[in-house]
Structure 1
Amino acid sequence: MNMNILKQLREKKGITQEEMAIKLGYKGKSGYCHLENGNVRMTSDIARKIKDILQLTDKEMVKIFFDPKV
Structure 2
Amino acid sequence: MAIKVVAWRCPQNHRCPAVRACPAEALKQEGRAAPVVDEDLCVDCGACVEVCPMGALQYAETVAVVR
TM-score band, normalised by the shorter chain?
0.3 to 0.5
Q: Which one has a larger percent helix, Structure 1 or Structure 2?
A: 1
Q: Which one has a larger percent strand, Structure 1 or Structure 2?
A: 2
TM-score, normalising length from structure 1? 0.39
